[in-house]
Structure 1
Amino acid sequence: MLKSIINYILDLGPAVFLPALMIIIGLIIRMKFRKAFTSALTLGVAFLGMSVVLDFMFSAIGPASEAFVKNTGLQLKAIDLGWTPLAAIAWAWPYAFLIFPIQIAINLIMLAFGWTNCLNVDMWNVWNKILTAVLVAGVTGSLPAAFIVAGIQVIFELKNADITQKQVYQITRIPGIALPHSMSMFAVVLAPLNRLLDFIPGLKNADVDAAKLKEKIGIFGENHVMGFIIGILIALFAKYDFKQTLTLGVQAATALTLFPMVAKLFMQALAPISDAAGEFMKKRFPGREFYIGLDWPFLAGQPELWVAAIILVPFILLMAVILPGNAVLPFGGIINICFVVPALIVTGKNLVRMVILGVITTPVFLYIATTFAPIITDLGKKVGTVEIPANQLITWNGMEMPVFRWVFSQGADIINGNFLGFAILVGWLAIYVWYYKHMKKREEIAEKELSANA
């Protein structure tokens, strides 16, 4: 019965489910129904609008990437199908619906004891925890280990939302919102690398975001012009003809123009809910600040995110060709949102650093996607949600938080005697301790800057 209810809710999709949840939250925090309904419906429009623009851009860039790989003549047997087939495999797991109450229970317990200030309403992305459980079960063969690691992931996501909320606000200017999405955990890898860039001459003070780029290069820094130029370059990379090249250029220009427009709807939708929630919580929990955890698209209005993502496409394709041992044919995840979202936060939307870090870490995504390909393919065949040709593997280049999933699946495999994997997990946890302290300091600095500006 629980499984049927959850499946029915999820089938509504985030554009319907999240607004419905927001109306309920709005009424609980004493918003007038008219205001709660208007804000919630605007949020649904924002999510659906962003989805339309994303699909438009992916459908334009994807074929160009595929054309490039065909031109190389290489046979890469693990096809990157993107997140959708992986979500289907995750939801088809027999125990998937049990992760739902686990996430809700952990979140409520942490809120009650003051261990987090984030109420994560992004229930749609519970499938990320399910995917982690599926991969851990595939590596270890242990169901308890799968559920334990999925629960650990929920805790890490909420704590990460706590230590980045002010920095996210500095980027988006949307109040009362945090990012408890799994992809943000890749920041644990990016933050130390970003800190190392401080010691490279010329990079420490090279703070280049879209606005500063526009000041320096004029019209070439405009969203639509940058999109057009990048689209043309990718088309040339794919050996498109003249007509196809111009078309891809205009399509990329269109996407980069529309993203900030749609993103404004998130501000319009969430500001009233955030204000009402803040007042409600202040009366009942004086001294505590609560915020709502949402899916990543509320960050999608930042042009740096898309410029970096598209610039990295040729590098991803090139590395797929030249890296020894790589089996991944980038396609569905060729625009690596799973990298650029955490990179946007870690670098403070510094475009130069985002591109550098993207080039450095692209092999991580490709190799981990290669490692998990046999497990994902086997699971896909078992659940029957994806038709897989003989001698073909499927995978996902993005993998959202590839290092976390690989490290914890290997660490949990200590039950089968994998002591090396457990040692690697301990090493990752040591890096995480540094990361947590580092981001806490940055959060304190962000809070002081916001107070001074206020």
Structure 2
Amino acid sequence: MAVLKSIVQYILNLGPGVFLPIIMLIIGLIVRMKFSKAFSAALTLGVAFVGMNVIINFMTGAVSPAAQSFVKYTGLKLTALDLGWTPVSAISWAWPYAFLMFPIQIVINLIMLAFNWTDCLNVDMWNVWNKVLTCVLVQGVTGSLTLAFIVGAIEVVLELKNADLLHNQIYELTKIPGISLPHALGLTAVVLAPLNRLLDFIPGINKIKLDPETLKDKLGIFGENHILGFIIGVLIALFARYNLKDTLTLGVSAAAALTLFPMAATLFIQALLPISDAAGEFMKKRFPGREFYIGLDWPFLAGQSSLWVTLILLVPVTLAMAIILPGNRVLPFGGILNICFGAIAVVITGGNLIRMLILGIISTPLYMYVASYFAPMITNLAKTINTIKIPAGQLITWNGMEAPEFRYVFSMAANMFKGVLLPGLPLLIIYVLLYWWYFKYMVKKEKEAAERINATQNVQ
């Protein structure tokens, strides 16, 4: 057991920018790629991940101080500080049983592949910590380690099934073949998809298709990524009462980020296309009639400009809701750019800016209330393992927590085994009904996307 824990910890210390390229190199060699091509593709993938994370950190670092300035001027007194995902992941990995989720995820994935229950091979081992966090929260609610791992295993299954439901739509959006998204943040589609479907029946909204390309056609130079980024950055700075120098700096920073995101995203295509082609040929020979694809972390979606435009525009919405929502305890800061919403919303809406903004406004309270609820559990674990020094009376949390609906509902549902039926039973029934509708709806959407892809390829 100690040896396994040491191996897992060594892997974690490598970080996703090193670990994922190693995995992809191994996959490339297995599917008979030449070492030189496999190494080049794997290294390019590492560069893509590191480059995208550099830009994301740069963008977050530029916007977060503006949020902090707003908080200073409004005098907000909220007890749960939003630290973002990085400290929360560190806290999760420090949980004494965290390393056990590695074999659980791998075994479940292999069983589902063998029985044809999924076509996704999830190589995103770094994000095992998402399942660990779920376990931590469930244990915090129920006090049961067994129930914690059961819910963690359920999450693994649902993530893989969700990857199957998003595969073709992701290809249409990114044009990157052979990949999908078996990530916790994708589970929020169970809530966002029906909301997006309701927008189809609202006159006006159902006819608007507003994405960055449409903006360029409608607005000319003002629809360009760098111009749009500059304008939004300046507006956020004015909202935070910045002086002229800092306002212009934030404007240029936002312009730089929105310009660089699509550039970095092209690296994912360069990296994954040769591996995808080789893996496709390899699998066709051995498993005729089946289509396998690789499950990756979300940054391959970060090249979608509509994602970042939406998230920046939602910053003032998030701050306003922190003030007005009754019962909210969260002070938005580290997760002020809610990537976990944006990355799945861009897939569900096809990158439609208007729809993403509407869904963001509707779902922001969900993220905020769940972050408020779980703040004591996250704080207690941090104090227990002594990873972060927390002042007396202060709580820590993560406002942009992945799959807030799943984690809250299944924590409450797990509590039923302790004899506490409310609110777990009705919430679980509602979730199951939502998932049933979502599954049927997305199967249909995937079929339609596959037909469009085949038609395009036949024309070419």
TM-score, normalising length from structure 1?
Answer: 0.99
Q: Distance in 2 between matches of 1:201 and 1:426?
A: 31
Report the counterpart of residue 205 of structure 2 in structure 1: 203
Q: Distance in 2 between matches of 1:345 and 1:418?
A: 36
Q: Is 1:138 aligned with 2:134?
A: no
- Asked if the contact 1:227/1:256 (under 8 Å) is kept, the reply is yes
Report the counterpart of residue 328 of structure 2 in structure 1: 326
Task: Kindly provide the CA deviation profile for residues 233-278 of structure 1, in whole angstroms up to 9, marking residues without a partner as x.
Answer: 0000000000000000000000000000000000000000000000
- Asked if the contact 1:413/1:422 (under 8 Å) is kept, the reply is no
Report the counterpart of residue 432 of structure 1 in structure 2: 435
Q: Please state how far the C-alpha of 1:15 moved relative to its aligned partner.
A: 0.6
Q: Aligned residue pairs: how many?
A: 454
Match of 1:448 among 419, 443, 451: 451
SS in 2 for 1:394: strand
- Equivalent residue letter for 1:195: R
Q: Distance in 2 between matches of 1:31 and 1:153?
A: 33
- Equivalent residue letter for 1:444: K
Q: Distance in 2 between matches of 1:33 and 1:269?
A: 14
Runs of 4+ in structure 1 off by over 3 angstroms are none
Q: Please state how far the C-alpha of 1:423 moved relative to its aligned partner.
A: 2.3
- Asked if the contact 1:78/1:373 (under 8 Å) is kept, the reply is yes
Q: Distance in 2 between matches of 1:124 and 1:51?
A: 14
Match of 2:340 among 311, 329, 338: 338
- Asked if the contact 1:377/1:395 (under 8 Å) is kept, the reply is yes
Match of 1:297 among 285, 299, 305: 299
Report the counterpart of residue 20 of structure 1 in structure 2: 22
Q: Which 5+ residue runs of structure 1 have no aligned equivalent?
A: none
Match of 1:119 among 109, 112, 121: 121
- Asked if the contact 1:78/1:327 (under 8 Å) is kept, the reply is yes
SS in 2 for 1:419: coil
Task: Kindly provide the CA deviation profile for residues 80-118 of structure 1, in whole angstroms up to 9, marking residues without a partner as x.
Answer: 000111111111111100000000000000001100000
- Equivalent residue letter for 2:168: K
Q: Distance in 1 between matches of 2:388 and 2:431?
A: 33
Task: Kindly provide the CA deviation profile for residues 219-242 of structure 1, in whole angstroms up to 9, marking residues without a partner as x.
Answer: 111000110000000000000000
Q: Please state how far the C-alpha of 1:422 moved relative to its aligned partner.
A: 2.4
SS in 1 for 2:380: helix
Q: Is 1:99 aligned with 2:107?
A: no
SS in 1 for 2:121: strand
Matches within 5 A, 1:415-426: 415-420=417-422, 421-426=424-429
Report the counterpart of residue 239 of structure 2 in structure 1: 237
Match of 2:310 among 308, 311, 321: 308
Task: Kindly provide the CA deviation profile for residues 193-222 of structure 1, in whole angstroms up to 9, marking residues without a partner as x.
Answer: 111111111011211111011101111110
Task: Kindly provide the CA deviation profile for residues 297-342 of structure 1, in whole angstroms up to 9, marking residues without a partner as x.
Answer: 0000010000001000000000001111111000010000011111
Matches within 5 A, 1:335-374: 335-374=337-376
Matches within 5 A, 1:35-434: 35-420=37-422, 421-434=424-437
The percent identity for this pair of structures is: 66
Task: Kindly provide the CA deviation profile for residues 269-304 of structure 1, in whole angstroms up to 9, marking residues without a partner as x.
Answer: 000000000000000000000000000000000100
Task: Kindly provide the CA deviation profile for residues 52-100 of structure 1, in whole angstroms up to 9, marking residues without a partner as x.
Answer: 1011111100000011011111111100000111111111111100000
- Asked if the contact 1:412/1:422 (under 8 Å) is kept, the reply is no
Q: Distance in 2 between matches of 1:58 and 1:8?
A: 28
Q: Distance in 2 between matches of 1:415 and 1:181?
A: 27
- RMSD (Å) for aligned C-alpha atoms: 0.6
Task: Kindly provide the CA deviation profile for residues 394-430 of structure 1, in whole angstroms up to 9, marking residues without a partner as x.
Answer: 0000111100000000000002222121221121111
Q: Distance in 2 between matches of 1:407 and 1:122?
A: 25
Q: Please state how far the C-alpha of 1:190 moved relative to its aligned partner.
A: 0.4
- Asked if the contact 1:43/1:270 (under 8 Å) is kept, the reply is yes
Q: Please state how far the C-alpha of 1:144 moved relative to its aligned partner.
A: 0.5
- Equivalent residue letter for 2:212: A
TM-score, normalising length from structure 2?
Answer: 0.98
Q: Distance in 2 between matches of 1:332 and 1:130?
A: 20
Q: Distance in 2 between matches of 1:371 and 1:71?
A: 26
- Equivalent residue letter for 1:313: V
Q: Distance in 2 between matches of 1:127 and 1:425?
A: 24
SS in 1 for 2:32: coil
Q: Which 5+ residue runs of structure 2 have no aligned equivalent?
A: none
- Equivalent residue letter for 1:114: N
